[in-house]
Each structure stands twice: as C-alpha cells, then as structure tokens.
Structure 1
Amino acid sequence: MTTSQEDEWLWGWDPTPGIVSVWAEPDGRAFVWRRLPRSGELVREDLRFRPWLLLSSLDDVAHLGARLLPEREGPAPNRVTWQELEGPGALRYLLRADDGRALTSAVLHGASRRLGRPLGHPRELGTETALVLPPEEQYLIASGRTYFRGLDFDELRRLQFDLETTGLDPSRDRIFLVALRDPEGRTEVLEIHGEGNEAEADLLRRLVERVQARDPDVIENHNLHGFDLPFLAHRARALGVPLALGRAGAPGLRQRPAARGASFGRGTPGRFSEAARRVRHTVPGRELIDTLDAVLRHDFAARDLPGHGLKAVARHLGLAGPEREYIPGARVYEFFRHAPERVRRYARDDVTEAAGVARMLGGAAFALARMAPRRYERLADAGPATGVIDPLLVRAYLRAGAALPAHAPGDGTPHSGAGLHLFATGVARHVVKADVASLYPSLMREYRIGPRRDRLGVLLALVDRLVEQRLAAKARARAAASGSPERHGQEAISAAMKIVVNSAYGYLGAGSLTRFSDVHAANEVTRRGREVLGLLCDELARRGVTLLEADTDGVYFAVPEDWSEADERRVVSEVAALLPPKVQLEFEGRYAAMLSHEPKNYVLQPYAGPLVLRGVAFRSSRAEPFGESFLRRALGCLLEGDIPGLREAYVATVMALRRREVRTFEVSAQVRLTKTPEQYLATRGRRRELPYEAMLASGRTHWTVGEQVRIYRAPGGRAGLLPDPETDGDGSDRSPGSDEGAVGDPRDYDGEFYARLLRETFAARLVRALTPEDFAAVFADPGQPSLFAPSLARSRPVLTVLRDPRTEPLRSDEAG
C-alpha cells in the first residue's frame, strides 16, 4: 500500500473544501452546503448520485431479468447494475441504481418471495446478507468527500437556543421563553406575549424566523435531543406551527435512529416512551448538536466531571461567570411571573455556557467529521467502534473494490481479561502516575496484530496513521499560542484521533457487533499487554517504589519521602527505556496523597487543586447527594491526615440528618423504573419495592418503563416521591447559590435511616484507610457518647501492602 492510499482510507479522496452539511434522499438527490474558505459565503450544490447497497448474492434481484446489468456496461435508466467485488468477503455484490427506492423495492420483492413472508426493509435480511446505509453515508462513501476540509471549528456558524417551559410535560405545559445566542455571539430572549395557544404559537413562529434569519450551520444546546427538540416538536405539532428550521424540504423535524435520544412518546402524558429514547431529530442543511454528547464522551475518558448537567459542567470548566444567575429548574416560571429580568439573565447564561461547552469539548466530533463518511451530527453521538471505525473500513474496502466480510459470531473462544492489579489499599503519600500511552493500540502496531479477516490491513494502517498524525497535531498545538484557534483546532484533531486509536482494540474484541472482529487477535493483544505490565511493575519495584495500582492505563506508585520530582521523572524514564519501542511510558502527574480503595476506585489529592475522585465507590449518579457531599469533606480530612476533622465531619452530618436540616433532595436517590404498573401490582403482594411504593403513595398509578424519578425513605418505612423536581431541561440537578429555601421541601424523611446509611455505605468506603480501632472511634454514634472514647489526636491513616496480585490476577470483569 502507498502513503496516498492510506490517506484516502483516513481522509477520503475528494478535496472539496468547506462542506458544512450534507443531505441526501433515497431517490438519488444530494444537497451539499459549503462555506467557501476566506469569503465565508454559503453555497448549495444540488447533485445526483447513484444509491447503492451490498448483498451476499444476486438471488434476490434475479427476477429483474434484463433490467439487471453488469456495472461494466454502464448505468441506464430504470436499470440496476451489479459489480462483483474481489476477495473472499461475504458481502461481494455492489448494486447501484439511479433511484434507491426502486433498488430497495426490487431487493425486498425478491427476498420476500424467497422467504415466503413480507419484508419492510433490507436490514431485515440480516447483516450477513445485506449492508444498507443511510443516503448521506452512501453519498459520502461513494464520493470520497468529508465535512469541514479547510475550515476551523470557529468558522462554522453556530446558534444555541434554549427553551424555558412551564413544566416538563408538553401535553399540558407550554413554552413561555426562548433564549438564543447567534453565530456572532449576541444573545436574545424571545418571550410569550399574552396567554393561550395563539400567544405560544406566535413565540414559536418568531423562533423559526430568527433561525432562518441567522442561518446557522449548526444548532446546538445542552440536552438538545433529550428535551428541547422533542418538547418543541410536540408543542409545534399541537399548535399547528410549521417548524421550518432546515435549509431545504418541507417544514418540520424529521426523525432518525440513534443510540441515545428522546421523544415524548405515547402512554403517560409527557413521559418518554422506551422506544422513543432511541430517536433523534434532524433537518436538511443544518447539523443538530447536543453538547451533552461531548460531555459524556469527555467524562468517559477523563472521569473528572462532578455531573453532566450544563451548570455543573460549566462551573467545572470555569465557564460560569461570578454573576451567573441560578434559579431552581422547577421554579423558573414562578420566578418569571414576579422577577422576569432574573429569568432573562438565567436563560442568556444558559445559551452562553452551552456555546462555551461546545467550543471546549466539541472539537473531537468536529475533527472526526473530517475523517469518517457520516453526517457531523451522527458522529457527535456515535460510538467510536461501530460509529467511526466501521464507516472508515467500509469506505476503504469499496474504494479498493474489495468484498466485505459480514458480521459473524465468534467460535466460542472467550475474550481474555486485561491486566488489572491492586498492590495496596489505604492512604499513600508522594504518589506518581506513570501513563502507558494507548497501550493496546501500541502493541497492535509493535507486533502487527490485526483482525484476520482484514486482508487489506486497513485497521492497522489507520492506527499507524492516526498515531503518527496525532503526535504531529499535539506538537503543533504546543507550538501554537494558548487560546488561539490554531491551538484549539490541533487539540481537537489530537483528541479525535485518540478516540479512534483507543477504540481499535475494542473493535477487535466486540464479537458480532463489528465487521472485522477477531477475538484471537484481541486475546493476543491482552497477552502482550499483561507481559508489558508485568515488566513495568517489576522494574519500578526494583527501584524502591511502592506499587499501588496498575492497569492498561498506567501505574500508580508511592515514592520515598525524600525523593524530588527529578527523581520521580528519572525512574519513569529508566523504565520507559526497557519497554518495546512503540510502547510509550510517560510521567503523567504527581500527587500529595492517594486513597486506594478497590481496583479502579481511588481518590487523589493533588499538591494544588481539588480532590480527584475515580470509580463508582466515590462517584455514582445513583448515590444520594448528601452522602457524596460527606465523602468529599471526609476525604479531604483523611488525605490531610486530620482524623479528628474526619470525626467532626461525620458527627455534623449525622446530627444534621437527625434534625432534618438536610434538604429532602439531598437524601433522595434517582432510580429508573423497569416495571409497568401492571407488572409491579402483580408481584406486590409478595415483595414491595420502594420506587413503586413511592409512586403509588403519591397518587401516581400510571408510569412508563424507563422513567426516572427521585425517591426517599420516610419514617415507618414509608416511601416518598420527590415532586417533579428541581431539574432543568438541560439535565442539571440543582443550582448551588439559588435562593429556593425550603419552599416545597417536605423534610419528612427518616433521619435515623439515613444516619445508618451514612455509616454503613458511605463511611464504609474509608475502612481501608484506618485501623479497626480508629474506624470504630471515628464513626461511633454521636448520640451514644462513651466515657472511655479513645483520643484521635495521634491517629493517622494507614496503608496496607497486599500479597502480589499477579500470582492470582484479577480479571477486568471482577473489578469493583
């Protein structure tokens, strides 16, 4: 293969610059919007392309007779052409036609007759028989075009809008205000004038007019697909307002399948149906981007966000200004009626923060769209294996005229676990993290381990090119001025390439989910990985450090108290020189202290800055907020060695719970309902469950599977349901600094129950950091003082070195 061929596999081959949106119809029409470099002018190209699909045989189109022609004879009106691709792949017949609907109809007619049952879509034939892609992907793969060539992230015209509604149920609530931030960064608030349907309809028409006038390439917001768009679509449909938000075609939002989305479905009014959660909206000519996707993608890798709601993320990223307006989500409409200017500021702050989150975290999806032949908005919520790597592989094979393998089940060989070792528990001081940069992709490159069925070697070639170009992008980013568009763009390219590179190993081991999966290759990578990890740990231990935890991401270890940072870096460099050439070990960071609890569950105290919590033991969306608040305070004391302070934190929390000084929200837990009312009532006599008892006790006799509610335990074992809550359409839970007081807060929870929960669940996560005597003294019941309570003044956290776990390795599926 040549360098130019590898570049085509990665970037496509058509150099057309400035594509900002692609829309294609099944009848072979394609509309391409381009923003011209330098001038920024928007142009639209109306093109024709030949829709295509792949089949494993021609049996289902044999009925076409003379209307089925070999591709070498050229296209002809009302004809279907076929081309047999080279090589052993199952999907070897490429069928094309001028109209994709006629092509699909022909295949379905033949397949229905062969199978003796009607078929509605070629996907029903199964992945071993057919490959059918959306029209836009057919066009992009066939043309070799990609989005955004020659454009920077900041050259896109991006508009953010955010709805403020009287409640969360579009069947009875309404939109009363819309905040917008236009592509020039100007914010505007549109408000309802008057009452009734016509006033709301007028507001929606004004929103549509603003979008058309500002003509953005991208419309975005936080939780756009989970709240704003489905609510807007529901209200527009009810009011008869055409949503002409696109650049072409009939007004209205169209739907597309997605891994994660939302739409207000039938059943309980205003609630999400389970099927609707896998639907998103789309329009021709604009890309609809949900910044929540970027947040989830970032947190999956970094695990550093305190939550995923807009306000929590904006505070964490430093985007929230000191004058940021906070209002409890459930009370926004109430505030609007008596303090409208506060709501206007609040709404403007929301769209400003959404724009900031998009710029800070959205660059990876933008860069992926320069590579993969999919719409930008689909890449923003796509998984990296099936959503990014698979389209790249399909394009490469079709470009080479090579047959594609079908998805296939494995031969029963299990996927072996990765190396994951816990060497010590408790509190360690002077801790270093040595990072193994992309270990598994590096081993794939070093030992040329790729999927057996990838006979062209595309996956390994992509990994090679991505690693090389990522390193180059990182170097260019470091050389660019801080905060400059150049630096931002290069960092985005580096992040996007890291996403794809790190998913290459997962692609190998994903079984029938991916086209070129190969469990034997994946197992060879993990075997090599365990060897490297063992060598790394042995060499570090020989140099006098205390190993704490090691996995494929790197190693945490503690160094002697008298070591300097130069000593720490020297040891990492010495060990790095002993590893295989393409495996890079880097000095990633140093910390004052670390609590090692369980594998992948730990807390780090930097020499400067806030605590870093990792793992579900310390960060979980299902945990009661009061417990996590206690843990943060307690961990700070623990890692500082302040055991009396830890005791004070525990006593203060217990007493606050018993006096019901803690808000009800703080003791509530978010749960997802998995049973219908009928299913629960059928088993209620044998076993009662708190979430459903809370629904019934509040008068709710109807709900849908998948609905999320906040529940708590009231005295006497009774169940409480938090009223439809202190949440926002952006997914934020609560707004620190707001002046909500205790309005609507029942404060009727069981304080004794939560005091026990504090000790048995949250405090228990600190048990490995203290001696049994100190643990008992710190977490003794403050309501039962002892005459002989031991002094904690001299108590200190402990570290327990475990038996070397490599003698009996912990499998990754056993990790806590």
Structure 2
Amino acid sequence: MAHAREDEWLWGWDPTPGIVSVWAEPDGRAFVWRRLPGSGALVREDVRFRPWLLLASLENLTHLGARLRPEHEGPAPHRVTWQELEGPGALRYVVRADDGRMLATAVLQGAARRLGHPVGNLRELGAHAVLSLPPEEQYLVASGRTYFRDLGFDDLRRMQFDLETTGLEPQHDRIFLVAIRDADGKTDTLEAHGDSDAAEADLLQRLVARVRAIDPDVIENHNLHGFDLPFLAHRARLLGVTLALGRAGTPGLRQRPAARGAAPGRGGPGHDAMRRARYTVPGREFIDTLDAVRRHDFSTRELPGHGLKAVAQHLGLSSPEREHIPGAQVYEVFGSNPERVRRYARDDVTEAAGLARMLGGAAFALARMAPRRYERLADAGPATGVIDPMLVRAYLREGAALPAHEPGDGTPHSGAALHLFATGVARHVVKADVASLYPSLMREYRIGPKRDRLGAMLALVDRLVEQRLAAKARARAAPSGSPERYTNEALSAAMKIVVNSAYGYLGAGGLTRFADVHAANEVTRRGREVLRLICNELARRGVTLLEADTDGVYFSVPDGWGEADERRVVSEVAELLPPKVRLEFDGRYAAMLSHEPKNYALQPYDGALILRGVAFRSSRAEPFGEDFLRRALRCLLAGDIPGVRGAYVETVTALRRRTLPTLSVAAHVRLTKTPEQYLAARRRELPYEAMLASGQKHWASGEQVRVYRAVGGRAALLPEPEAGDNGGDPRDYDAEFYARQLRETFAARLVRALAPEDFAEVFADPEQPSLFAPSLANARPILTVLREPETEGEPPGLSADNFP
C-alpha cells in the first residue's frame, strides 16, 4: 500500500489513457483531447471542474457571509466552499467555486477591504498567503490525471513549420515562405504570391488551413517561441488575419507566462514583458526544440552551439546534401533561385523533427508525471517546474497543509567538492562515475526537507530511482531503434533530471516551498566524505588522481594495466561505499589534458577528441583559434610536440599571409544592448563599435552578428557569407593582433602540458628564429602532480600528501 500511495504522488491516480492536450478555462470548463491507444483515434471530452485556490487564511473571504460555507456542506451556485487541511503548514485552506474568476475577485475584494486600498492581482498578496495555479494545473492536480498514459512518443501527431522572412523586424519585414513537415513526414512549402499585404495575408490563411487539415497534437520548430510564433503573431495582427490554430475556444494565439520567451522587435515598447511570455492555443502543444537542446547541453556540455544547423550536424542529423544559405541572404537568394531556398527550408523542418525525436523524449516523459501541460514542462526548470507541482499534488491528495515559501535563516549554502590533483598530460585515463551522488546520499541517510512532514520528496526520489533502473533495463532489453527502447530511454532520462534536481531544490533558499539549507549542507558534507574516501582508496591502489568532483573521478593508471585492471580497481572501491551510493566504471581514454578544474581534453582510444569547459569550448571563440586548438591537442595528446609547433607555425603564417578567410577570425556574438543603452554606457566594446562603424545606427537586442578587428585597430562587421563564396571577403583583419591572440589566449591553454623551455620554443615567433633554440625531437608532454590540489569545498585532511 505504501508504494501505491507513493505512485499516486509520482504518477497521479486517474488511469485515463491517451491524454495529448488539456485546456481549461477559469469558469470551470476543461477540454481534454485523447488519442485512443491502439487505434490512434482522437476524441475530445468536455468536463467541468471546480477552480480552487490555496489560502493561508479565510480573512479575505469573510465578507461573503453566508455565501462562504464548509466543503462538507456541498457546493451551491454562487457559493465559495472551504476545506481546512491538516498539519502545521501555512497554506491550509482550499477554497473552491464554480467560477475561478469569481473566486479570485472575492479574495481581492476582501483583501482590499481589509487593507484599505485596491488589490489588483492575487500575486500582490504574496506567496505566503495564496497559491494560485493556471486552470489546467488546477484541473490536473485535482483530477489526478496526467498526459500520455499508455502512449509512446511516436504515437502523437507532430508537425513542424518554419518561417522564412525578408528580415528580423515584423513591423516592416514580411513572411514570404513557410516550410511544413506533416505528421507523416512529408515536407512542403507555402509561398506568398507577390510582396503585397494581401499576398502575405493569403499565405498566413493557407498556413492556418494546413495546420487544421493536418490536425497535429504537437507543433514544433527550433526557436519556435523565440522567433516563429512572435513574428507570426505580429504579422497576423498587422494584417488582420485570425490565427485559428487551436482546436477549441476563441480563435487566435494566447499568451502565457514563461521564464524564456522572445518577440521580434525586441527593442520596442513592452520588450521585457514579451520576453517573459510564450504563445499557446487550446488543443495543441507548442514545443520548441531549442529548450531540449539547452537541457541536453546543460548535462553534457558537448554541443558546439545551440543553433539548429550546428546541433543537427553535431548529432549526425544533417544530410550530406543539406542546403546552406546564410540567414541574411535567404530572401535575396529566393529572388534568383527559389528552389534552393525551398530545399533549405525543407531541410530546416526535417532537422527540427530529428532534434525533437532525439532530444525531446525527456519532456514527453515528464508530462507523464507532473500535473502541467506538456509544453510548459518542455521549458520548465526541474525543481520549481517539475518537483514543486508534484509535491503540491501529493499534499493535497493527502489533505495536508502546505508550507509557504520562506526566506532562509542566513545560513550559507556550502558548495560541492571539486579537486584538481594534477595538470598536464596523463596517459591511460579512467573515469569512475559517481551515479547521482547527492540524491543517493539523500536516500541513504534519509536527508530531506525538515518541513516535508509527509516525507514526499524522499518518497518521490526513492520511487524515481527504482523505476529509472527498471526503465533502463527495459530499454537495454528492447531492440535498438524500437519505440519501446526509445520510450524507456526517454523515461530514464526524465527521471534522472528530476532525481538530480532534488538536491538543488533543497538548497534553493526562498525559491522553493521545501527549501532547507541545513539539509542541503548535510548532503554536501556527506558528499565530501564519500569523495574523500573514493580518492583515498583509489590512490592506495596505485593510480594517479587527476580530477574529482560529485560527477566522478578521473585518474591515470600505470603502464601495463589493461581494462580488466581498471574495472577491478573501480569495483573494489565501489564495495567500500554506502549501499545506495554507486561507483561505476564510466570510460577509458588514451590521454587527457588537465588544464583547470572542469576544463580538460580527452582523447579516446578510438574516437573523436572530447573537449570540456569554457577554456576549450566557447560560442564566442574565433574559429581559427578553435581549429588550432583541436589540431594542437591531437598532436599533444599523441606526444607529438613538433606537430604542435607545426600547427602553430601554419596558423601564424596563414594569418600573416591572410590566407585564412575573415570568417575564421570573426567572433559570432549576440548583441545584448540597444543603441541607446550602448551609447549611454560610455564603454567601448568591439561588437557595437563594429555596428556603428558599418553605418548601422539601429539594431535589436538579441541580434547576432560577426565582428572582427581590422587593420589599424578598427572594429569591423562581417556580413554573413554565401556558402563557398569568398569573392567578397575583405581579408583586412589585423593579422598581428590575431597572432598575439593565438599565443596569449589559445596556446596559453597548453602551458601546463609543457616544460617552460619547450613551451617557449613551441610557440616562438616563426619569423624570429633563435640560433640557440633547443630541439623539440625529444620533447614530451609533462604531468605535474600538485603539492596542494586546487580545490573548491575541500574537506579537512584532503591534500596531495594523502596520495602516492
């Protein structure tokens, strides 16, 4: 029975299968669309629910007199009922009514009478006094329903669309083409027949008709909420076109609050409000694959950027025939070669669909658990966006009062342990992974929030870990590429997201309902103890420690050891850990450059170079420097120091002869200031100076540009190049500036891998040879074991003296 209760907290309790979208109105109407498992048929249910609020007190409702009655007396028209929850929580009264607007108005009127001034919104009363959820979440929490029961990811009808526009400003730029990929995978384009308002309006009307004909459950694209939907909404408003994209209710797009959103024309009035809003419609879910990319990269830190084309290429989703056109040139190319633009746009929606399937499974699986709309879970933070709704549901299911958000008592949150034991190049490297260390410690030592009197958080973590292991086992047993494998892998990934965020929830003082910095500090204290034990025991077995943190430990093994020896050592140490803390063999590598904490390069025995940390991966880094680093690192990790020298000399020579295209020295940056903000700051910055020098006096915050330093120290703007076309390349970059940058910025990241005299020789100016330069033939990379390890959150007694 205990597990049944905890499963209700985790999954809800209503077994209704196939929910693909929920829309609820404040007046108590809810519309539920379901795909029937097996047949795939779509059905719609229209149901009633009683909107509710959670209050700390009934004082703002006493003015209702006899219209306020206990819940056990039953509902009645134009009445508000209340139910007192059990326990010491501050939010202890559930109040319900047939109409949510009437309920909110009654609370606001009472608050205004009590306070003596108007109160316009429930938020003004404070989170300590009221909890108000969106209507859909009220419905899902109260009913115990969740999305997608008995459905797989591929059971949903998904559609992708992508806009091609004449520019980035919807106030005066137009939509001239829309690429569409339907639910069966067929791609097509819709185009405006001319450049008039009437032609564009006709295009938007045809887009609406196509959406309604395809009737997707989900509409997707990359940066859908950041560009396509805001641009589409703005143009439709200007042209008087109704965007009837939903399945019910008033036609048109609606807005919802969000942590991340955007609107073209970002510098205009209402800019800040728009950036905190997203669009939504009844009956369909808008999914932005950029959210999935960001969530994935937060965990892996391996993506070269977050743009569609870069990510698709990195993940192997791009076709070899993929059409490339610089964004700024798409409309111009359309005028001379429309078929090329059609191919380009169709490739965009194909790649967006591939990204959605590869990276979107976690959000799909989260929607099976948390009582929120699918589209909201896609961009939700795992702590406040996923765990909190489940805890609210659990407490209300048990009739228990909820604590309100409370500020901390001033106790600082102690950080996680991070140790750098050695720098330079190590060979025969192993990573031992500490699987979900902090959640494991919470489970092992029953460390949970003090105010969680139901123990709901620990119960959720327990069940998630158990069911994640079961999902991983089902995924391994399923055929590769099968829907069963994909669904269970996505479920496992979603559970990992929630489990790993439980500790962050604890430590988020004042931001989460059950925050408890003392419990969080106890978790980190235990974590430091475990990490110290792992390091000590590994060192006792003759390995060289390189880096250790809560994710795992990198170490180098002696020459002559094989994989069996490496696995044996990890297994021996794993046996010494607390039962619920798991140490696993996670990988082996031919070599590693340890540069700084969390900044390193790995060379697998057979595979591509792996770079971690901002020292080796930065979206702002100039391509010539990153290219040099990759070439130099391959040589360095192979022990080929003359090869590192060769890569350096070739790059410096190419810079000075200007055989490198200007694109390779240009930084791709995002403008975060409007012209007015930049000019008011009175601090010179290359990107903005480049915009002004090019004659551009107007730009939008959020616009991305390529800038470089030209001869004479000038700031210059580089237009987006046509693929394969170097005819317009100015090649006027400041070669000596970039040669210095090569040595002082990029080459400097190899300084810990070479003896000082070797570093000086490798990166000596090729045009200033020394008569007494030492030979590099016998030079080798070095590894320096630090006498005092570079640490953060170091526990007492952990130093290099503990290790051989």
- Please indicate the TM-score interval, normalised by the length of the shorter structure: over 0.9
Deviation of 1:703 after TM superposition, in Å, equals 4.6
The answer on 1:699 being equivalent to 2:695 is yes
1:194, distance to aligned residue in structure 2 (A): 2.4
The 3 A distance-change label for structure 1 pair 793 and 162 is: same
**Unaligned 5+ runs, structure 2:** 796-804
- In structure 2, what is the Cα distance between the partners aligned to 1:305 and 1:254? 33
Q: Which residue of 1 aligns with 2:596?
A: 598
The answer to whether the Cα contact below 8 Å between 2:415 and 2:793 also exists between their aligned partners in 1 is no
Q: 1:784 aligns with which of 747, 751, 768?
A: 768
- The alpha carbon displacement at 1:754 in A equals 1.5
Once the two structures are TM-superposed, the CA of residue 419 in structure 1 deviates from its matched residue by 1.2
2:711 alignment counterpart: 715
The aligned counterpart of 2:13 is 13
Superposed displacement of residue 757, structure 1: 1.2
Q: Flag structure 1 segments of 5+ consecutive residues without an equivalent.
A: 727-737, 812-816
Matched, 1:507 2:505: yes
Q: Whole-Å Cα distance in 2 between the matches of residues 504 and 808 of structure 1?
A: 22
Distance (Å, rounded) in 1 between the aligned partners of 2:777 and 2:640: 8
Stretch moving more, 38-47 or 327-336: 327-336
Which residue is 1:773 aligned to? 757
The reply on whether 1:114 has 2:114 as its aligned counterpart is yes
Equivalent residue for 1:308? 306
RMSD of equivalent CA atoms: 1.8
Is the alpha carbon distance of 1:368 and 1:623 closer, same or farther for their aligned partners in structure 2, counting shifts above 3 Å?
Answer: same
Match of 2:315 in 1: 317
1-structure distance, mates of 2:780, 2:311: 35
Q: List structure 1 segments (4+ residues) > 6 angstroms apart after TM superposition.
A: none
Distance between the aligned counterparts of 2:392 and 2:335, measured in 1?
A: 56
TM-score by length of 1: 0.95
**Relative to 1, partners in 2 of residues 1:118 and 1:699: Cα closer, same or farther, differing over 3 Å?**
farther
Q: Distance in 1 between matches of 2:727 and 2:128?
A: 59
Deviation, 1:63, is 1.3
Q: Which residue of structure 1 lines up, in the alignment, with residue 29 of structure 2? A: 29
In the other structure, the counterpart of 2:290 is: 292
Q: Compute the displacement of 1:399 (Å).
A: 0.6
Choose the corresponding residue for 1:764, options 736, 739, 748.
748
Would the aligned equivalents of 2:405 and 2:513 in 1 still touch at CA under 8 Å? Answer: yes
Write the deviation string for residues 442-493 of structure 1: whole angstroms up to 9, x where unpaired: 0000000000000000000000000000000000100000000000001011
Distance in 1, Cα, partners of 2:15 & 2:601: 48
Matched with 1:734 is none
Aligned to 1:752: 736
Query: 2: distance between equivalents of 1:704 and 1:114?
Result: 45
Distance 1:679 1:366 in 2: 40
| Matched residue SS, 2:579 | coil
- Please tell me whether the aligned partners of residues 226 and 262 of structure 2 are also in contact (alpha carbons under 8 angstroms): yes
Q: Match for residue 688 of structure 1?
A: 684
Amino acid at match of 1:286: R
Of 334, 338, 341, the match for 2:339: 341
Out of 794-803 and 698-707, give the one that drifted further.
Answer: 698-707
Contact 1:328 1:740 in 2 (8 A): no
Q: CA deviation at 1:408?
A: 0.6
Change (3 A) 1:174 1:419: same
Moved more, 652-661 or 287-296: 652-661
2:800 match? none
* 1:327 to 1:702, Cα distance in 2 relative to 1, 3 A: closer
Aligned-residue offset at 1:671: 4.2
**Is the CA contact 1:714–1:750 (under 8 Å) kept in the aligned structure 2?**
yes
Report if the CA contact (8 A) 1:546-1:559 is conserved. Answer: yes
1:611-631 CA-partner distances (Å, limit 9, x unpaired) = 111111111122223222221
Once residues 533 and 268 of structure 2 are traced to their aligned partners in structure 1, the CA distance between those partners, rounded to angstroms, is 58
Structure 1 counterpart of 2:206: 206
CA distance in 2, matches of 1:403, 1:542: 51
- With 100-109 and 638-647 compared, the bigger mean Cα shift is at 638-647
Distance 1:503 1:392 in 2: 13
Change (3 A) 1:659 1:65: farther
Q: After superposition, what is the alpha-carbon deviation per residue over 1:710-756, rounded to whole angstroms, capped at 9, x for unaligned?
A: 43222333222344x46xxxxxxxxxxx7342355443332221211
When structure 1 is superposed on structure 2, of 672-681 and 87-96 the one drifting more is 672-681
Contact 2:14 2:143 in 1 (8 A): yes
Structure 1 371/327 Cα, relative in aligned 2: closer, same or farther at 3 Å?
A: same
Structure 1 CA distance for aligned equivalents of residues 669 and 185 of structure 2: 38
* Aligned counterpart for 1:622 among listed residues 611, 620, 623: 620
- Distance, in Å, in 2 between the alignment partners of 1:647 and 1:275 is 53
Change (3 A) 1:557 1:233: same
1:538 to 528, 536, 539: 536
Identity percentage of aligned residues = 81
CA separation in 2, counterparts of 1:95 and 1:744?
A: 68
Superposed, 1:288-687 pairs within 5 Å as 288-673=286-671, 675-682=673-680, 684=682, 687=683
Q: Secondary structure at the match of 2:525?
A: helix
Say whether the 8 Å CA contact 2:708–2:715 is kept in structure 1.
yes
Letter in 2 for 1:346: Y
**Separation (CA, whole Å) in 2 of partners of 1:491 and 1:676:** 43
Cα offsets for 1:158-187 (capped at 9, x unmatched) = 001111122222222222211111111111
Letter in 1 for 2:147: Y
1:809 shift after superposition: 5.0
Q: 1:739 aligns with which of 707, 717, 723?
A: 723
Aligned partners of 1:154 and 1:638: how far apart in 2?
A: 45
Structure-1 separation of matches of 2:643 and 2:336: 44
- Go from structure 1 to structure 2 and tell me whether the alpha carbon gap of 1:745 and 1:88 turns closer, same or farther (over 3 Å shift): farther
Q: CA 1:379–1:97 in 2, change beyond 3 Å: closer, same or farther?
A: same
Deviation sequence 1:122-157 (CA, Å, 0-9, x none): 012111111111110000000000000010110000
Kindly state the Cα deviation for residue 589 of structure 1 after the two structures are TM-superposed.
0.4
SS at match of 2:658: coil
Q: Which moved more, 1:186-195 or 1:101-110?
A: 186-195
Matched-pair contact (CA < 8 Å) for 2:434–2:551: yes
Q: Is it true that 1:83 corresponds to 2:63 in the alignment?
A: no
Quote the residue 2:225 is aligned against: 225
CA drift of 1:561 comes to: 1.4
Q: Provide the C-alpha distance between the structure 1 equivalents of 2:542 and 2:39, rounded to a whole number of angstroms.
A: 61
1:283 corresponds to which residue?
Answer: 281
Determine helix, strand or coil for the equivalent of 2:45.
Answer: strand
Residues 708 and 718 in structure 2, CA contact (< 8 A), matched pair in contact too: yes
In the alignment, is the contact (CA less than 8 A) between 2:506 and 2:516 conserved in 1? yes
Contact 1:148–1:370 under 8 Å retained in 2: yes
Cα offsets for 1:85-128 (capped at 9, x unmatched): 11111111111110000011111112223333322220121111
Tell me which moved more, 330-339 or 550-559: 330-339
2:159–2:182 Cα contact (<8 Å) kept: yes
Equivalenced residue count is: 795
Gap change, CA 1:747 and 1:173, over 3 Å in 2: farther
Matched-pair contact (CA < 8 Å) for 2:177–2:189: yes
The residue matched to 1:511 in structure 2 has which SS? coil
* 8 A Cα contact 2:597 2:790, kept in partner: no
